[in-house]
Amino acid sequence: MAKLRRQDLDELDRQDALAPLRASFHLPRGLVYLDGNSLGPLPRAARQRLRRVVDLEWGRDLIGSWNRHGWIDLPLVVGEKIGRLLGAGPGETAVADSTSVNVFKLAAAALALSPGRRTIVALASDFPSDLYVLAGLAELLRDGSDGRPVKVELVAPDDVGSALGPDTALLVASHVDFRTGRLHDLAALSRLAHQHGALVLFDLAHSAGVVPLELARWQVDLAVGCGYKYLNGGPGAPAFLYVASRHQDALRQPLSGWMGHAAPFRFEPTYEPAPGIGRTLCGTPPILSLAALDAALEVFDGVDVGALRAKSMALGEVFLRLVGERCGDAGLELASPANAVDRGSQISLRHARGYGIVQALAARGVVGDFRAPDLLRFGFAPTFLRFRDLWTAALALERVLEREEWDRAEHRRQLKVT
């Protein structure tokens, strides 16, 4: 096969039906941003909306904005918009808190829905915050409401089947492995868990907005995910959570704050959960962040997630091919599955000097991220990336490796956030 040329990538951009979406974002000139999987870029609509919320809603209308500008309804209104990207039914998605906090609320709720079952099975490779939260929940429940402590069992993805049993209350799994990008088959995991009478809680942080999801069809019980990754809601944007309708009436979550009360403004001394998904809320929502997320979701209006997925797979394939052609013998190793269908929207490469390489790339205007101990991680957000950006990225990577730029003192200095 002939080597890819720059013109080939320009041609792919010309054929790309999603190319116009790029204009929905503010992107610094000259930057190749392969980190939309960690923090999405600023959508123009979010910037405009923030200006309006600050100046008019907060600045002028003050407390009246809870009613007048519908602030109070935003958690469910924005949840509904995200629900469409998840294949959720109406009234099954809300926006609240962080993904970590939502894992806590829903894992606790799952235990309460599964009397007599005390084991949570989770993937050892899952995002550590999810595992820390599950450990914290088990610690809290160590004395056991029915006399037995809660146990968290960590397993490899391929061992889930043998780990599930009559004591399993819940299977927790991420859709995409944040390190390798491996895509797990949520429909199959859901079926497997249900065969054992267990519920599932899936973390969609790296798939919402970029991989087609069919939560209702896959019979998913519970799910969580981030607002600031492919959904572009901004730094610290609130997270989403999903509860299948069939579980909502019985669902009890332990952070039973007033925003999840059936009638918060009756100020009754006892808690009565709101009907439906509203009971998953806890305290006052962060309106600035929530409004930004609401506006950011306009990017997805009329966009088919299947088309986004097709482009993101093509971007990954082209990137891999370019890296193979230009950096083939530079000691990089593919840490992601070799087939695009088995990956989320990222590619991870392994290199002992990974940290310095990622820093040196950033200095050249190509932003990816590093995951300890040796992973270079590149995300392919199909909403704003161009094929020609991959050309720039692969050339920069080639130079960094050739000139050993990773060895420069300024690129070896460990920063607090990687």
Ligand X SMILES: *Cc1c(COP(=O)(O)O)cnc(C)c1O
166-169 LR contacts (CB < 8 Å, sep 24+): 166/117, 166/196, 166/197, 167/117, 167/118, 167/119, 168/117, 168/119, 168/120, 168/121, 168/193, 168/196, 168/197, 168/198, 169/110, 169/111, 169/113, 169/114, 169/117, 169/118, 169/119, 169/120, 169/198, 169/199
For ligand X, the binding residue among 25, 33, 104, 178 (CB under 6 A) is 178
Q: Contact between 95 and ligand X (CB under 6 A)?
A: no
Catalytic site residue from 118, 182, 229, 309? 229
Q: For residue 127, indicate whether it is catalytic.
A: yes
Q: Which is nearer to ligand X, 105 or 353 (CB)?
A: 105
Residue 417 CB, shortest distance to ligand X, in Å, is 12
CA distance 312 to 331: 25
The separation between CA 35 and the C-alpha centre of its own chain, rounded to angstroms, equals 12
Q: Contact between 100 and ligand X (CB under 6 A)?
A: yes
Q: Which stretch, 122-130, 209-217, 298-306, 310-318, contacts ligand X (CB under 6 A)?
A: 122-130
Tokens encoding 348? 């991870």
In 10 A of CB 156, how many CB atoms?
10
Catalytic site residue from 228, 230, 242, 380? 228
Q: For residue 377, indicate whether it is catalytic.
A: yes
8-15 LR contacts (CB < 8 Å, sep 24+): 9/318, 9/386, 9/387, 9/388, 9/390, 9/391, 10/387, 10/388, 12/314, 12/318, 12/387, 13/386, 13/387, 13/388
Residue 201 CB, shortest distance to ligand X, in Å, is 11
For ligand X, the binding residue among 49, 118, 206, 343 (CB under 6 A) is 206
CA distance 31 to 211: 25
Q: Which stretch, 96-104, 214-222, 287-295, 366-374, contacts ligand X (CB under 6 A)?
A: 96-104
DSSP 27-58: --TT-EE--TTTS--EEHHHHHHHHHIIIIII
Q: Contact between 245 and ligand X (CB under 6 A)?
A: no
Q: Contact between 239 and ligand X (CB under 6 A)?
A: yes
Residue 235 CB, shortest distance to ligand X, in Å, is 10
Tell me, what amino acid is at 331? G
Q: Which stretch, 183-191, 202-210, 327-335, 398-406, contacts ligand X (CB under 6 A)?
A: 202-210
For ligand X, the binding residue among 138, 164, 205, 223 (CB under 6 A) is 205
192: nearest Cα among 158, 148, 230, 150: 158
For ligand X, the binding residue among 119, 125, 174, 248 (CB under 6 A) is 174
Q: For residue 229, indicate whether it is catalytic.
A: yes
Q: Where are the beta strands (DSSP E) in 51-167?
A: 93-95, 119-123, 151-155
Q: Contact between 336 and ligand X (CB under 6 A)?
A: no
Omega cis (within 30) before 373: yes
Q: Contact between 130 and ligand X (CB under 6 A)?
A: yes
Q: Which is nearer to ligand X, 204 or 323 (CB)?
A: 204
Q: Contact between 348 and ligand X (CB under 6 A)?
A: no
Q: Which stretch, 41-49, 200-208, 266-274, 288-296, contacts ligand X (CB under 6 A)?
A: 200-208
For ligand X, the binding residue among 107, 211, 226, 281 (CB under 6 A) is 226
Q: Which is nearer to ligand X, 9 or 224 (CB)?
A: 224
Residues of this chain, 379-418, that bind ligand X according to CB under 6 A: none
Q: Which stretch, 22-30, 95-103, 146-154, 344-352, contacts ligand X (CB under 6 A)?
A: 95-103
Q: For 375, which DSSP code?
A: E
Q: Contact between 35 and ligand X (CB under 6 A)?
A: no
Contact 242, 224 (CB under 8 A): yes
Tokens encoding 184? 């797990």
Q: Contact between 98 and ligand X (CB under 6 A)?
A: yes
Catalytic (active-site) positions: 127, 203, 228-229, 377
Residues that bind ligand X (CB under 6 A): 98-100, 127, 129-130, 174, 178, 203, 205-206, 226, 239
